[in-house]
Amino acid sequence: MSVHQLLIEDLILLDFEGETKPQVIEYLIDRLVEKKKLPHREQILHVIMEREELGSTGIGNGVALPHGRIDSIDDVFIVFGRTQNPIEFDALDGRPVTLIFLIVSPTQHNESYLRALSTISRLLKQERFRNTLLSAIRPGQIVEAFREEAAACLS
């Protein structure tokens, strides 16, 4: 499954307020748990924060990709959040983060997980694409941006 198929409007949060990395990660996890009715909030939070301790998932250019894998889910989930104000995320370039993609995957879906991480990080290296995400007014515009990029890659 491609990123534009995994990214749904219910899991896109635009211009929310957050002050710290843990607060933002918890906010995105809470949205995932609420909308997908997952009973694994603490387990997901533990896995994501444990991964952050290994090294920040702030990849630079105002982008972070917190991610983790757990046994107790069956699907790959992506939650996208755009913060109202940039937050410190210990990013590789030292700059604060505004665009955050939280990716949670079942342990057994390694290929889908790696494909999602790879596709998102590749697209977010493009300034034009980041600007599209920064200027979107509605969640549907985020989904459409990914759909258009997927179509462009196939043509």
Q: Among all residues, which ones are annotated catalytic?
A: 67
**How far, in Å, CA of 123 to CA of 129, rounded?**
7
**How far, in Å, CA of 66 to CA of 123, rounded?**
16
Three-class SS of residue 92?
coil
As to burial, measured by CB atoms within 10 angstroms (0-12 exposed, 13-18 middle, 19+ buried), residue 150 is middle
Question: Is the distance from CB of 30 to CB of 36 less than 8 angstroms?
Answer: no
How many residues does the structure list for the chain?
A: 155
**How far, in Å, CA of 89 to CA of 83, rounded?**
12
Token pair listed for 122? 């590749």
